[in-house]
Structures are given as C-alpha cells and as structure tokens.
Amino acid sequence: MGEGVELTRIIAGCKSGDADSFAQLLDAYARRCYGYFYRLTGDRDLSEELLSVLFMKLVEKVGSYQGGSFESWLFRIAANIFHDHLRARKRRKKLLDAQRTELGSVPTGLPKSDGKDEKLDRLQMQLGRLDTDTRELIMLRFYSNLSFKEIAELRSEPIGTTLSKLHRGLKKLRGFMES
C-alpha cells in the first residue's frame, strides 16, 4: 500500500473533500478491510455492507485523523463497526427469541449465519470454532499490518496478554485445520 508521502498526499486530498482521493484510499485498503470483515462474519454481503459503512465513516471522520499510524486509526474504526454489528445482531436475536417465546412457536428455521447460504472455505469453517475475541485478534493482526504494540494499544490490554492470546489462538486454529 502507498506508504509515506503517497499516503500523506491521499489523506490530505481526503481531508479537502476530494472524491478521487477517497477512491484511491478505497483501492488501497478495500481488499484488506473486506478480508477482515469476511473472516469475522463469513458472509460476503454483510462484509460488503460493513466495508461500505467503514468508508462512509471515513468520509465523515477523516478530518479528525491527526497523524500517527493511519492503519491503526482505520482498523480501530473497522473494529468498532464490527462490534456495533455484533451488538445489533444480539439485540435482534433477543427480540426474535422473545417473540418466539411469546408465540410459543417451534424454531422458525432461521438461518445460522446472517441468512446467507455461503459456501464457506475450510479456514472459514474452522475460524467459526474459535471465540469471537480470539478470531478478531488473529484477523486484526493478519489484515491490519499493525505491530503487536499497536494491537495491544488498540485493544487496551498489555502486550503480553495480546501475544499469549494470539499464540494460543493460532495454535488452536492449526490444530482444527490439521484434524
């Protein structure tokens, strides 16, 4: 990805409201951000939606970017968007459960993963066996290109905790993949 001067130029263009600069930013980061969302949700349509939300947020918030690691800033927003999605899904699930209990009906055959008939690859299926936090940590490190120090700061936890969780998570995932 365009680092240094090139990225600075693109961000300056975004701050001045230049649509072409935003398009360049999307070209530069869409693949990684989309991969991050896809590996967390396993749903292409939903990942597209979250990617769109992310870049709409960038349009609104790029003025507040004060320098420092842009990727750290970008993936912090991406992580927040994913958490918002999780919270919204939890609320919807609670509501549906409550309605189902009220009606006393049997399961309505709701799909398990966001209503989409995804043909999941093997890695995606095994990732689903990890808890959300570990999955998120592994994907954040893989897609964001951040150092452990930056990831630990982003997650507001000691670097030792981040290292340990990532090590355990990856080892577990390899175990699942090899079994």
Partner 1 sequence: MKKPDRDNLRALFERFMSPAEAESAAEDVQAGDEMLRAHPAPEPDHEMMLGIKLQMAARLSGRHRTVHHLYRLAAGVAAVVVLSLIAFHSRAPQSNPGLSHAALIPTLIWESDDISADDIKLAYFTSEIRQIEAQVQALEAGESQDAGVGTLDEVEMELAQINTAFWKE
Supply the minimum distance, in Å, between the C-beta of residue 94 and partner 1: 30
| Residues 6+ positions from 55 with CB-CB distance below 8 Å | 22, 25, 26, 30
32 or 85: whose CB is closer to partner 1? 32
Of residues 158-177, which lie at the interface with partner 1 (CB under 8 A)? 159-160, 163-164, 166-167, 170-171, 173-174, 177
Does the footprint of partner 1 cover residue 3 (CB under 8 A)?
Answer: no
Does the footprint of partner 1 cover residue 141 (CB under 8 A)?
Answer: yes
Compute and round to an integer the Cα radius of gyration of the chain.
Answer: 18
Q: Give the pair of three-digit tokens for residue 173.
A: 């995932």
Alpha-carbon distance of 168 to 134, in angstroms, equals 9
52 or 132: whose CB is closer to partner 1? 52
- CB 14 within 8 Å of CB 21: yes
Using CB under 8 A as the binding criterion, the count of chain residues that bind partner 1 stands at 43
Q: Give the pair of three-digit tokens for residue 158.
A: 């000691």
Q: Of 6, 12, 52, 132, which lies in the binding site for partner 1, with binding defined by CB under 8 A? A: 52
Stretch that binds partner 1, among 5-13, 36-44, 72-80, 97-105 (CB under 8 A): 36-44
Per residue, the 3-state secondary structure of 57-88, as one string, reads HHHHHHHHCCCCCHHHHHHHHHHHHHHHHHHH
Does the footprint of partner 1 cover residue 96 (CB under 8 A)?
Answer: no
Q: What is the dihedral of CA 68, 69, 75, 79, to 10 degrees?
A: -50
Amino acid at 55: F
Does the footprint of partner 1 cover residue 98 (CB under 8 A)?
Answer: no
Does the footprint of partner 1 cover residue 65 (CB under 8 A)?
Answer: no
Residues near partner 1, by CB under 8 A: 17, 19, 22-23, 26-27, 30-32, 34-35, 38-39, 44, 47-48, 51-52, 55-56, 59-60, 121-123, 138, 141-143, 145, 147-148, 159-160, 163-164, 166-167, 170-171, 173-174, 177
